[in-house]
């Protein structure tokens, strides 16, 4: 796999910055194609993939859970203050539920996951690269791309949808708590109100895109780590760039997928 | 000396405009300890990386047991790499794994061994390098000398035919350097392995070397036994040896 070399310097002209951007995109495309080639060919590093899924999933639960309960609570509260003067508070559970399912839970979980996991993958693989640990793996007869990249990208792709489902439930709990405090709404009423307005397309529209987001988090972090150069400064750059690029890609892909889902 | 294990034939390597190796040819014989000397930047480490295909030569061929590495598939290269151990300058221990996991990693990848056999092999290898007590430590908890020993243990645990050492004593105090050099020699005798050692360390070279090649400006400048090279009247080599001795004396005084 021959990846284009990106020139890093403090004094780059606008043309060089643009060129770097296109080099990054082409490098990422080559890296992604190589990922699919390696993923399909045995041996499969199943144990390492399970370990990474466990790590990414379990360790992200507290932070995404905290975010979920706050988002649910705030959304319900904001809606309450808007709809309460019109006497339309009955619609809050459904509107909040749809917002959480279709957009808030998938996108916010993905962005938080990118901040935590994509940077972690970039830093880990990057420091392994500059300290010759990847070379050591290669000369010991192990394919480092399979062991480090394929395992992590598969893990992020499949763990993010599970985390999103968890966040959906936690956010709905947060919304219920807000409405319980403001409106003394019962759990049964809240549950019936949410489920009566939701259909399968709300659930699928939210969850399908999380597979794409999970893939972006993994592949961008791994790409940045694998192409790290320049010692510890390079590792720092890879860590930061992983978060920035994966977050931007997540937002961009979200925009496209929302548009596509509306056309279907 | 026995048969040729490794045959490097007219190998050149450039990095952009910079030619690091120029038509280097050298044979490595089975069972010998070959030391590669030279100033920094003369392509010593690059030569080792070319042997394990971490780098590709711009021209020339490298034969391992008469197989041309340039004409082998990735799968065949992976098979040959299993016969070659590589001790990196930094040790390159996997930071996220304990000593036990670092040692079991290549075993699990190369051999089909049971857990019991893996544990036995790890204990036996740690005994050889004198660090059984470090089995559950993380690399960050080890001193420089201990890291080298563990890296050496990870290299020999798969019982390769040949080990390539990239500056095995760099960054160590003179006493630890001597201990590591003696350990390398003793392991070579016990395990009957071939060694190629890239070093600046004269004491290390004197302990280990059967034969020495001296690289200058990417070319083989001199080749022979350690004592022959050391007693050479060539001004460049005399300067190298005297400068190194002065530096080593200076360092040990500090």
Contacting residues of A for B82, CB less than 8 Å apart: 140-141
Between B79, B88, B110, which is nearest A136 by CB? B88
Model pTM score: 0.86
Chains A–B, number of C-beta pairs less than 8 Å apart: 50
pLDDT in tens, B109-123: 888 888 999 999 999
Decide if A187 is inside a domain.
yes
Tens-digit pLDDT profile for residues A18-62? 898 899 999 999 999 999 999 999 888 999 999 999 999 999 999
In chain A, the number of structural domains is 1
The pLDDT score that the predictor gives to residue A25 is 92
The answer to whether the beta carbons of residues B38 and B195 sit under 8 Å apart is no
For residue A135, list chain B residues with Cβ-Cβ distance below 8 A: 49, 54, 86, 88, 92
> How much is the pLDDT for B178?
87
Q: Does A124 touch chain B (CB under 8 A)?
A: yes
* pLDDT of B253: 43
* CA–CA distance, B49 with A66 (Å, rounded to integer): 49
pLDDT tens digits, one per residue of A216-247: 999 999 999 999 988 888 899 999 999 999 99
- Report d(CA A142, CA B105) in Å as an integer: 9
Work out the number of other CB atoms within 10 angstroms of the CB of residue B156. Answer: 22
Match 């070379």 to its residue by tokens.
Answer: A135
Tell whether the model's pLDDT for residue B219 goes beyond 50: yes
Query: A158, A154, A150: which is closest to A38 by C-alpha?
Result: A150
Output the pLDDT for position B252: 46
Question: For A171-197, what is the mean pLDDT?
Answer: 92
* pLDDT for position B2: 65
Q: Which of A168, A202, A190, A184 is nearest to A92 (CA)?
A: A190
Per-residue pLDDT averaged across B81-99, rounded? 92
Query: What is the residue extent of each domain of chain B?
Result: 4-253
Neighbouring-strand partners of residue B219: B216
Set of chain A residues whose Cβ sits within 8 Å of the Cβ of B79: 141
> Which pair of tokens denotes residue A35?
């990922």
Domain span at A181: 45-263
Provide the mean pLDDT of chain B: 87
pLDDT band for position B243 (cuts 50, 70, 90): low
In a domain, A21, yes or no: no
Closest among A83, A80, A96 to A202, alpha carbons compared: A96
ipTM, interface predicted TM-score of the complex: 0.85
Contacts A132 to B, Cβ<8 Å: 88-90, 92
CATH code reported for the domain at B4-253: 3.40.50.300
Element (H, E) at B216: strand B211-216
3-state helix, strand, coil in chain B (%, to 5): 45, 25, 30
């Amino acid at each position: 796999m021959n990846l284009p070399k990106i020139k890093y310097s403090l004094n780059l002209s606008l043309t060089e910055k643009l060129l770097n951007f296109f080099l990054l995109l082409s490098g990422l495309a080559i890296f992604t194609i190589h990922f699919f080639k390696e993923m399909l060919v045995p041996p499969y590093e199943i144990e390492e993939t399970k370990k990474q899924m466990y790590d990414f999933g379990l360790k992200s639960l507290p932070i995404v859970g905290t975010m979920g309960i706050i988002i649910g609570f705030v959304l319900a509260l904001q809606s309450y203050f808007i709809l309460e003067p019109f006497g339309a508070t009955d619609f809050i559970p459904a509107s909040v539920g749809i917002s959480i399912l279709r957009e808030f839970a998938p996108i916010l979980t993905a962005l938080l996951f990118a901040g935590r996991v994509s940077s972690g993958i970039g830093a880990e693989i990057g420091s392994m690269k500059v300290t010759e640990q990847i070379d050591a793996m290669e000369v010991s007869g192990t394919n480092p791309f399979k062991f480090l990249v394929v395992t992590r990208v598969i893990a992020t792709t499949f763990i993010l949808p599970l985390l999103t489902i968890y966040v959906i439930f936690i956010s709905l709990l947060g919304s219920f708590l807000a409405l319980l405090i403001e409106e003394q709404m019962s759990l049964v009423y809240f549950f019936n109100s949410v489920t009566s307005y939701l259909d399968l397309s709300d659930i699928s529209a939210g969850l399908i895109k999380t597979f794409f987001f999970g893939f972006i988090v993994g592949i961008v972090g791994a790409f940045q780590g694998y192409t790290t150069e320049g010692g510890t400064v390079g590792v720092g750059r890879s860590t930061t760039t992983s978060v920035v690029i994966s977050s931007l890609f997540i937002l961009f892909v979200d925009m496209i997928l929302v548009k596509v889902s509306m056309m279907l | 000396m026995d048969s040729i294990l490794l045959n490097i034939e007219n190998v050149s390597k450039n990095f952009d405009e910079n030619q690091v190796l120029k038509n280097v040819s050298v044979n490595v014989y089975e069972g010998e300890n070959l030391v590669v000397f030279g100033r920094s930047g003369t392509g010593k480490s690059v030569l080792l990386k070319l042997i394990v295909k971490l780098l590709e030569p711009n021209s020339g061929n490298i034969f391992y047991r008469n197989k041309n590495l340039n004409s082998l598939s990735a799968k065949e290269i992976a098979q040959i790499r299993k016969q070659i151990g590589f001790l990196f300058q930094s040790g390159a221990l996997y930071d996220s794994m304990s000593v036990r996991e670092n040692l079991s990693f290549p075993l699990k990848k190369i051999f089909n061994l049971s857990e019991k056999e893996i544990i036995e092999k790890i204990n036996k290898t740690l005994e050889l390098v004198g660090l059984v007590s470090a089995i559950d430590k993380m690399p960050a908890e080890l001193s420089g000398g201990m890291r080298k020993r563990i890296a050496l243990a990870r290299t020999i645990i798969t019982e390769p035919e040949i080990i390539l050492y990239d500056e095995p004593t760099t960054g160590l105090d003179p006493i630890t350097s001597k201990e590591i050099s003696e350990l390398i020699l003793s392991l070579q005798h016990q395990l009957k392995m071939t060694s190629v050692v890239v070093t600046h360390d004269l004491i290390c070279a004197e302990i280990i070397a059967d034969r020495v090649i001296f690289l200058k400006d990417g070319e083989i400048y001199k080749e022979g036994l350690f004592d022959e090279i050391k007693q050479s009247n060539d001004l460049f080599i005399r300067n190298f040896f005297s400068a190194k001795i002065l530096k080593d004396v200076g360092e040990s005084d500090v």
